[in-house]
Structure 1
């Protein structure tokens, strides 16, 4: 088997196997690319309201307003936006056994909960399908990582198979003969569009592989100067001391409820002073569980490089003293590269044009799967017809030879 034939067979094999699952990943990825805009469209008056003529409330007022409406639930993080019209977002403390709490939006003046977001469950399922194929998280990310490798091999093998012997003929890659019809036209479109999408698929697959395998992510993060902390050990199985553990959990929960109204205005004012002169556009406030607990503000400048170009400021809740102030601009190059991995995967690193390009590339995955199957089945049909033609020809020659022998 020649090298070219090997890559041809591998490209066909991956296209009709991994490509079938990549179809789902592409559709969900295209949906998630504009998740915010779609959610705002189907939830008028929740995520965004008309340009306000009011003064947005401080975090303290928002938290107190929510506590008055929902006394049994506690806010874990509160996200505020400087953009007029965007409503504050709260992530509640997760219920026992859950990884993450509910996401709700608050009235920007009173802090009262706004109506539930329609379609949130659909996007959560789409995200789980995209990232883990609805499998358990650890298994799912490995499977999607293998699929990312498959897509990378598909893209690069396709480039190799159509690489011209004469480099001057590269311009012919983009030429589509208007007179071409049928299978030849479909194959030509598959090649041309696939080459165009290669620019998107390489970074998407490399970032997907980075997230999927700790054996890749850990050394890369360490090499870039930000080693990952050791993973927490798995929780032990339930045993005889469950009752004592439940009592301790209840005690901790009671303590948190007792500290539900920890004032954070002093810390908030200190944060606003720390954000001068550039100001902030978005800030996530980690709500403290005790009066002495420091408050972490994770925030973006007014003109951030991307949505993960985050600053981190830690401030004491009682005194407003700034304990730590870490700025994205002061990070080493390696840290900035790591922060850009998610925006690169989503296309947001290049603004709206990048998002549109990634969305189109994601939508092309189903198209490549369908055309790939079409070409594969058509090829098999042609091979069968050629084999039948050869068999008929051989049979005719045998009959003629037999007839000639009989006459002799």
Structure 2
């Protein structure tokens, strides 16, 4: 029996799919489940976030007063961030942990719990399985290692699957069985048709999802993005945060001026603001600067630390971009203003990859593509397992006339 390149590619494709298939199916299913997490939680949380405006010109409590109300209502809570919204009937979000928080009525100071608890719990479980296969505590590095390897295997399956799909003859008759779903097929012929059709149409998105997944999983892959763009890789994995902002030494006995004037300055910096968020530490020293969403915190320096406000602008591009405005907490002076345009090429590319992985870089359309392709990944695993089972454990037929026809010789069967 002659050995061809197609057979050399086919068997690693099959074996990789069988070994990593179950983990790939879990990651694909959970990835589809969390594709619209922010939109669903926002919708389910809309009632909890909405407040009654007493009057069009009703005065609002200061951000500092709102924090004091939270500390009084939740003595054990440690506020770690504040997000304000431009709508008059929107409450202020005060974070009390990495993902927990409360809403505060900006007119009355009433503290209320976030809504959508069921949805939040669901998405939390989905994210744990997507990232760590549900592992907890010290077992999470093991879970992360397994999902990283499975993601790499999925990338190999996508690329090798393209080669195995590639027609020997570019004719409609040769390509038809693998370009669209065919009616009336059963068993092996149906699984072969579904496997190739789903793989073909989902391939571009799956390659993007798995490639960006590798960049997120492995520091060497993240560093490679920076090196290929001629940028210096950061010490920590992820998009490089800007260096810590040095604050001029305040006079002896000086105290921070509070958050309210700093928020006022942040509004002036970006008049068409959509949200303004400031991190207050959350386990780090108060006033420690934070990197943008999806980035590691900026390195901490000694002495007073600037407060960095992440300001999302209406109609900004990229959709995930936010201006980072760092201010002196003692004077309110703007010490640095950084936008996406100020990033080096490596930081821009790495930020794009972070949000291409979830589809958020292209808005709801990108998220929909990511969700559909992820569901396609589940079906690829199912049909791949079915094809593999039939290959290794063929069913015996009572007569030769009952044997189902093999796929057209112009195609090659894939199995993962």
Same fold by TM-score greater than 0.5: yes
User: 1:322, 1:227 → 2: CA distance?
Assistant: 27
Q: Among residues 183, 201, 204, which one is paired with 2:206 in the alignment?
A: 201
The residue that corresponds to 1:18 in the other structure is 20
Answering whether residue 344 of structure 2 is matched by residue 358 of structure 1, we say no
The residue that corresponds to 1:227 in the other structure is 233
- After superposition, give the CA deviation of every residue in 1:299-331 in whole Å (9 maximum; x if it has no partner): 221112245312211112232111111111233
User: 1:369, 1:111 → 2: CA distance?
Assistant: 52
Shift of 1:116: 4.5
| SS of residue in 1 equivalent to 2:168 | coil
Say whether the 8 Å CA contact 1:271–1:315 is kept in structure 2.
no
The residue that corresponds to 2:280 in the other structure is 287
User: 1:14, 1:369 → 2: CA distance?
Assistant: 11
User: 2:34, 2:89 → 1: CA distance?
Assistant: 22
Q: Among residues 219, 239, 243, which one is paired with 1:214 in the alignment?
A: 219
Structure showing greater radius of gyration is 1
Shift of 1:69: 1.7
Q: Among residues 270, 275, 289, which one is paired with 2:270 in the alignment?
A: 275
Shift of 1:296: 0.9
The residue that corresponds to 1:380 in the other structure is 392
User: TM-score by structure 2 length?
Assistant: 0.75
Say whether the 8 Å CA contact 1:315–1:323 is kept in structure 2.
yes
Q: Give the superposed CA RMSD.
A: 3.1
User: 1:144, 1:211 → 2: CA distance?
Assistant: 11
Q: Among residues 79, 84, 89, which one is paired with 1:80 in the alignment?
A: 84
Q: Which runs of 5 or more structure 1 residues have no equivalent in the other structure?
A: 95-99, 232-258, 391-408
Name the CA shift for 1:82/1:73 in 2 (closer, same or farther; >3 Å). Answer: same
The residue that corresponds to 1:158 in the other structure is 161
| SS of residue in 1 equivalent to 2:112 | coil
User: TM-score by structure 1 length?
Assistant: 0.76
The residue that corresponds to 1:27 in the other structure is 29
| SS of residue in 1 equivalent to 2:134 | coil
| SS of residue in 1 equivalent to 2:27 | helix
Q: Which runs of 5 or more structure 2 residues have no equivalent in the other structure?
A: 238-253, 288-302, 401-416
Answering whether residue 314 of structure 2 is matched by residue 302 of structure 1, we say yes
| SS of residue in 2 equivalent to 1:109 | coil
Answering whether residue 63 of structure 2 is matched by residue 59 of structure 1, we say yes
Specify which structure has the higher proportion of helix.
1
Shift of 1:31: 1.3
Say whether the 8 Å CA contact 1:306–1:348 is kept in structure 2.
no
Say whether the 8 Å CA contact 1:61–1:110 is kept in structure 2.
no
User: 2:113, 2:158 → 1: CA distance?
Assistant: 44
The number of equivalent residue pairs is 352
Say whether the 8 Å CA contact 1:75–1:287 is kept in structure 2.
yes
User: 2:371, 2:215 → 1: CA distance?
Assistant: 21
The residue that corresponds to 2:194 in the other structure is 189
